[in-house]
Structure 1
Amino acid sequence: MKSTLDQIKDIKNHGYTLDFSTVFNNAFENYKKIALYAGLILLVFSILFGILGSVLLAVIFGVEKLNNPAFFSIKPAHLSSLQLVYYIGGTILFSAILSPFGAGFLKMAYCADRDQEFNVSTIFTYYKSSHFLQIFLATAIISLFSVSISTFLEIQNLNLLGIVVSLMISFFTFLTIPLIVFGNLKAVDAITSSCILISKQPIVLLGLMITIVAALIIGFMALFIGILFTVPLSYSMTYAIYYAIFKNEKEDPIDSIGQSDLE
């Protein structure tokens, strides 16, 4: 079987087909299997992360500043050069550290698609996997470009352009993590490969992403907590898109004997 990079070379030269309805239906069927479990996990860990984040901010900046609403509306344009470095660096580090957590939902989608058992520990699969470093590096690189550019544009009072650039970067790199965890690519290869794959079917993929955004908006309107149960749809969709592109056959249980669950 061809390697992922070889398949991407073929796609770069010849493109690939992607059917909107097939991918959406596959994603929704997968979502139904993980929605409740993943939503509850997000709810619990959102509360835990919120408490931890509040405690850290209180320790670093003091409770008085946290009680001041202006503290949470600080704009990059009002920060010094050193504070900007801390701001960008902190954002990148935070995103990179949490990225394996998000990748765990892709693992959950993978297990659900193959009717394999999954549990809370599935979410932490890639923190103890050989893929951890590549996930961390890829997220750090993407965040560096996105945050640096958007921050620069915001300082220039081009906030809308900064948002557009950030969304474009997110769109063209959203297949990076599945390319690492399912395709075994290195960070830079995964980023460049994601851009190639997205550029070959931008209209269909954009349409699929818009459906995700619509679902998230509906979830947000449902007393906000609903968004926690619609977020898993984004992971099911990403998983479905990846396997629609590469059209990998589902693994035979006999063939998987002896293989690591972390692969």
Structure 2
Amino acid sequence: MNPRPFRLAKYHFFSLWNWRFSYLAKFIEPLAYFAFLVTGLAGGMGDPVGYARFAFSGMCCFLAFRAATNAMSDVANDRKWGVFALYTLQGGSTSGYLLSVLLFTWAVFFVQLSLVAVCAILIFGPGVFGAGTLWQLAVAALVASGWIGAGAAVGSRIQSYAKRDMIVVVTSLPVVLSAPLFYSLDSSPPLLRVVSAVNPLSYQVVWLREEGIVHLVLATAWAGLLLAVGILLLRNAERVSRER
């Protein structure tokens, strides 16, 4: 096995200290969502624990989507400072580079989920998790992989921090709030249902909540397709961006 992607992933982990406040915010954000939004909504439900179980799968999708932002930032910074160029000049492949980003972003993703899981147990008790939890985590990893590929693709093309920031701000709330992550949209206005119908998260959260081979195949296809797109766009991108 080629050790280069793992060595580069190690340096991504080392960068945590340089960006410690940014990652601290990324670990606090999902806790705030669960502790305040989910707990507040659960108070109005007949079965708070059942709702918390429903919301945890939504949180898995929310964090999978957030993984795209993390990957986009990593790729943009690596191109800005020449890390991607040095890696490829030393014989590293584009797919190996994306694997290093995938490993690091997966680690951040699962730390976030672990913190949310602890929060859920402290608030609602261990009944929040059951036999389907492992299924949810496995499918969530596939969904996150696809979003990481999408984030890498965007990071390979956009060379402006302002434009990337605009994409994150403009897409985050509409994508998250127009999917049934934390509430049902069955009785929502028609416009919201139309937006939800074209929102990938609306389908991905169903893959997590309903076990089945079809959903596993769809999640695998999603991950494979978006990672392939990420590799293709990275391969054709400038190794060093003009962003300074």
| Shorter-chain TM band | 0.3 to 0.5
Specify the structure having the higher radius of gyration (Cα).
Answer: 1
Q: TM-score, normalised by structure 2?
A: 0.39
User: What TM-score results when the alignment is normalised by the length of structure 1?
Assistant: 0.37
